[in-house]
Structure 1
Amino acid sequence: MSLYKILKRSRVIIALISFILILSLFVDIYEWIPVGGYDKVTWLQFLPSVLHFFAVFSLASAGGFLVVVLITLISGRIYCSVICPLGILQDIVNYIARWRSKKKRFFKFHKAVPILRYVLLSVTVFAVIAGLGWLVTWLDPYSIAARTFTYLLKPLVVWFNNDIVVPLFQKFEIYLFYHQNLLVASILPAVITLAVIIAIGYFAWKHGRLFCNTICPVGTLLGEISRFSFFKVQFDKNVCTRCGRCAGVCKSECIDIKNYTVDTTRCVSCFNCLAICPETALSLRPHKNITQNKTSKEKGEQQDKLAHDSNRRKLLIAGLVMLCGNRIYALKKEKLPEQQKHLVRNKKDHPVAPPGAISIKRFNDICTGCSLCIAACPTGVLQPALTEYGLTGFMQPHMDYSTYFCNYDCNKCGEVCPTGAILPLALEEKQLTQMGKAVFVRQNCVVYTDGTVCGACSEHCPTKAVSMVPYKDGLRIPHVDQSICIGCGACEYPCPVPEPYKAIYVNGNAVQQKAKSPYDEADKPNVVPEDDFPF
């Protein structure tokens, strides 16, 4: 077996391991993966790492993108073939397409589309610098793959577990596996994700890495860096017979056998061409300036001219995209029975961002909507936003208290966030982080409207910010102490009044604050150490 075939197989094995590790983060329904393993697996994801660096300014926790740049300078866009989950997913789709086709020459050379590539790269760079995370949401390959795993694959895993695995093992009285719940507030994120991944899958089926070399900003940026890579795939004109096998397996469609050139900006270092060349006319070696024929030079000059002329278009398109960033808020319409016409609609000034978001603006600026926190949330309270944040926060996670409430003893979302949009908080700090404040609407409470006993909100409140005070006729009615409320939603979720007319609801804080401790020093148990055994 030749060295290049070994190199290709090694690349495939490493890519599959990388893909399985990332996939497991999103479909780990039994929480077998330790929290500390999340950041290690996602550390090398390029755009999340860049955003995380700008959020915390720490190379130790957010320097993965520099490692990717270094690898690219050495041997090209290996990141796209080995680390990027969306790239590997496209390779899987294309492998199936080639297997079904059984064509020896599935691909052929196509010219690059520089205008679209550089416009989208410019928009992404501007979005990162300006803190417009919502733009990055739609272009970041990691986030697209992550949403695919969360909204499309995870439901299948839960179904397979509940309907096949659990009944099968319970027949043998093995109770290692058990029924899992999947809380979904809306199917719209899944529908949008499905549409996006079908489009990308179609491109991969027909043209391999067309998405990576036409739309993906990470691919374009690493492609520009790879111009300066030390090792490059190069032709030996004296050996090449122009059989076309290399171009036939090049999923980037970047090998021009007529001019003996490889477009290094589009090459994803998959090594397919090296492994299949019967004459070893292609090799991976240190780059040398090779004199090209006049036609090739003219083509290069034309491409440079096109890129130069597109500057005005870049600014225009970037401006149009920015104009689409107006915030919109929608209210759910719900018909009420006649006897409930008097109820007051909940007025939420802000949605509730996850603990550690610091502020809604900061969160919207950094979050890419990768949904890893949504997949990891044990209660399912984190759900993708539709109109809650407005257009700028579409598909970013928010606290949806119609599905559940935030576990008082959980801080997992901050531990797994790859971009730093949700900062990790110690459990004690998280328990004092005020994401919002509970608001009590007396006119909606069943104690007031129906004269019946209820105290669900107070019973569930972990900080006792909601207490029951005397009302009339022996009844008690809720009272909220907002100074110790953390906005966890434990009161809103069990309230029996239907949305959006809850008797108690959480109004999110635009900037998260620190709540007072629910326990005064005098209330804390005084433990006196004893020298002797107490019994």
Structure 2
Amino acid sequence: MLRKIRIGVSLVIFLLLTFYLVDFAGILPDSFHVLAHIQFIPALLALHVGVLLFLLLLTLITGRSYCSSICPLGVFQDIIIWISRKRNKKKQYGYRRALNHWRLGILVAVIVAGLSGFTVLVSLLDPYSAYGRIAVDIFKPVYLAVNNFLTWIFTMFGNYTFYYMDIVVTSILALVVAFVTFMTVGYLAYRYGRIYCNTVCPVGSLLGILSKYSLFKVCIDTSKCNGCGLCARKCKASCIDSKKHMIDYSRCVVCFDCIDNCRQGAVSYTLRKRRKTPEVSQSSGSTDVSKRTFITTLAAVALTIPKSAVSQSIGTLTGNKPYKRKHPLSPPGSVSTKRFNQHCTACHLCVSKCPSHVLKPSLLEYGVGGILQPIMSFENGFCNYDCTLCSDICPNKAILPLTKEAKHLTQVGRVVFIEENCIVHTDNTNCGACAEHCPTQAVTMVPYRDGLTIPKIDPEICVGCGGCEYVCPVRPYRAIHIEGNPVQLEAKPIRVDKKDETTIDDFGF
């Protein structure tokens, strides 16, 4: 019964969180972002005291229930383990000693990296963020492909329930990292059960320390046990030494598989009994090749990332005046790039949910420590003037909540105009698209020559939404673009022309 309840709770949380991450149509309401807020590292970075206390108390009472039911990467591994058991019904695990030098070393490295602001290591090893990237960068394109296929089928019969969606890869690097994570974690789970959780995952290691003192534990009644060893062979955490009747509670994820498989009723989940179930010694054994391979692969991904962005030489060949953005644009509400880099774990929830497709994973715009963290890019859209969704759903408080009124005055960057690139200057033709799409009148058209008008900018009232940059027809280097603010400022209020009382509503935003 306990196992069935655990599986039911796990699947509900896992499926809802996964669908929320890939849901492009907004079927689930935004309130479902609470499923991301109850994850351990996001709650820690956001200082959600209530969530942290809940998770810590849950661990001290029940053991590592977080790892078995709440953590999406843990449930993902359980699904892979279930598939492996279906393919090989005789699959067995057996007891393995804990590799505590790996566990402690990785945990300390993640803590030091987090405190020093080098959050890329935290991002790569945070189980929620790792799964978020898998869902957004792998599962979502597949989901969109299935949607487009159904659209084609239904349209043939005159049914327009579905509609086509563009399948866009926001970042090759993010896709590669997500794929490597998917394959590595999936392979380890398929072959060795919960070895990733008990060797690599920093959350598993930390909660494992607490779970040794949990109130309820899986216990072996030696008076009933016949020494068959079935519980150990079915333990995907490989933490039961049936010969010595010992359980390593720091690795037990309270999946209850042992209880469900024990034919003698010798295994139960009850109050802690120290004498009957002594804890396994935490001595380290021989190094597992698969674990070493995972660490080596992860380090290789981090160290082989390109050290420079794309060359600026294209503009020279086309006649455009090239430019390079000096400062990246972090999402509205992130306060500053420095603060944003220290709190964001690149779970890509905001990337997936952004209705304007403005956010994409970064490469080296933030530096090595900010790899994969969201950055504002205006290739596929611009930031909606009234939208505050990313600040509403961010589980880490890397993006602080903003009201619409506060968003209207949050300046993430300033407009920059390059007259030499403007088609009004180069082709002697009218345009004005940038001014039409500016919600704050930071870009206006003024007389130029031969009856033409050309953009004039007022950076003080610009909020950096990127509407002007998005619609500018000049390529590859636009005539107008947004330069990011290292620290987000407060833009000056929009001036109202007393003659015609022009307001923000007149621009259709």
User: TM-score scaled to structure 1, two decimals?
Assistant: 0.86
2:404 to 427, 441, 444: 427
Gaps in structure 2 of 5+ consecutive residues: 288-298, 503-509
User: Residue 478 of structure 1 corresponds to which residue in structure 2?
Assistant: 455
1:262 to 227, 247, 251: 247
Instruction: Name the SS of the counterpart of 1:233 in structure 2.
Output: strand
Matched, 1:18 2:13: yes
Question: 1:249-298: CA deviations, max 9, x gaps?
Answer: 111011111111010000000000011101111121211322789xx88x
| 1:343-492 equivalences in 2 (<5 Å) | 343-492=320-469
| CA separation of 1:185 and 1:41: change in aligned 2, threshold 3 A | closer
Matched, 1:49 2:36: no
Deviation of 1:488 (Å): 0.8
User: Residue 505 of structure 2 corresponds to which residue in structure 1?
Assistant: none
2:314 to 322, 332, 335: 335
Contact 2:241–2:247 under 8 Å retained in 1: yes
2:31 to 33, 36, 54: 36
Q: Percent identity?
A: 42
Matched, 1:153 2:147: no
User: Residue 317 of structure 1 corresponds to which residue in structure 2?
Assistant: none
Deviation of 1:71 (Å): 0.7
Matched, 1:7 2:2: yes
Question: 1:412-468: CA deviations, max 9, x gaps?
Answer: 101110100011101121121101001001111111122222222112111121111
Contact 1:434–1:513 under 8 Å retained in 2: yes
Matched, 1:93 2:80: yes
Matched, 1:511 2:487: yes
User: Within 2, Cα distance between the matches of 1:464 and 1:336?
Assistant: 29
One-letter code aligned to 1:502: R
Contact 1:360–1:511 under 8 Å retained in 2: yes
Contact 1:140–1:217 under 8 Å retained in 2: yes
| CA separation of 1:129 and 1:188: change in aligned 2, threshold 3 A | closer
1:180 to 143, 162, 165: 165
Instruction: Name the SS of the counterpart of 1:241 in structure 2.
Output: coil
Contact 2:220–2:277 under 8 Å retained in 1: no
User: Within 1, Cα distance between the matches of 2:382 and 2:457?
Assistant: 17
Matched, 1:200 2:177: no
User: Within 2, Cα distance between the matches of 1:205 and 1:21?
Assistant: 24
| 1:101-112 equivalences in 2 (<5 Å) | 101-103=88-90, 105-112=91-98
User: Residue 82 of structure 1 corresponds to which residue in structure 2?
Assistant: 69
CA RMSD of aligned residues (A): 2.6
Deviation of 1:135 (Å): 2.2
| CA separation of 1:122 and 1:327: change in aligned 2, threshold 3 A | farther
One-letter code aligned to 1:101: N
| 1:287-302 equivalences in 2 (<5 Å) | 287-290=272-275, 299-300=281-282, 302=283
User: Residue 316 of structure 1 corresponds to which residue in structure 2?
Assistant: none
Deviation of 1:132 (Å): 3.6
One-letter code aligned to 2:482: V
Deviation of 1:522 (Å): 5.3
Deviation of 1:476 (Å): 1.2
User: Residue 494 of structure 1 corresponds to which residue in structure 2?
Assistant: 471
Contact 1:329–1:390 under 8 Å retained in 2: no
User: Residue 121 of structure 1 corresponds to which residue in structure 2?
Assistant: 107
User: Within 2, Cα distance between the matches of 1:359 and 1:328?
Assistant: 23
User: Within 1, Cα distance between the matches of 2:453 and 2:308?
Assistant: 36
| CA separation of 1:264 and 1:457: change in aligned 2, threshold 3 A | same
One-letter code aligned to 1:242: G
Matched, 1:143 2:119: no
User: Within 2, Cα distance between the matches of 1:36 and 1:516?
Assistant: 32
User: Within 2, Cα distance between the matches of 1:447 and 1:179?
Assistant: 36
Matched, 1:134 2:128: no
Question: 1:128-173: CA deviations, max 9, x gaps?
Answer: 3344432210110000000000000111111111222x23333454
Deviation of 1:391 (Å): 0.9
Deviation of 1:369 (Å): 0.1
Question: 1:190-240: CA deviations, max 9, x gaps?
Answer: 122101210111000000111100000000000000011011112222221
Instruction: Name the SS of the counterpart of 2:460 in structure 1.
Output: coil
User: Residue 64 of structure 1 corresponds to which residue in structure 2?
Assistant: 51
Deviation of 1:241 (Å): 1.3
Instruction: Name the SS of the counterpart of 1:228 in structure 2.
Output: coil
One-letter code aligned to 1:234: C
Instruction: Name the SS of the counterpart of 1:202 in structure 2.
Output: helix
Contact 2:101–2:284 under 8 Å retained in 1: no
Deviation of 1:525 (Å): 6.2
| CA separation of 1:11 and 1:292: change in aligned 2, threshold 3 A | closer
Contact 1:247–1:256 under 8 Å retained in 2: yes
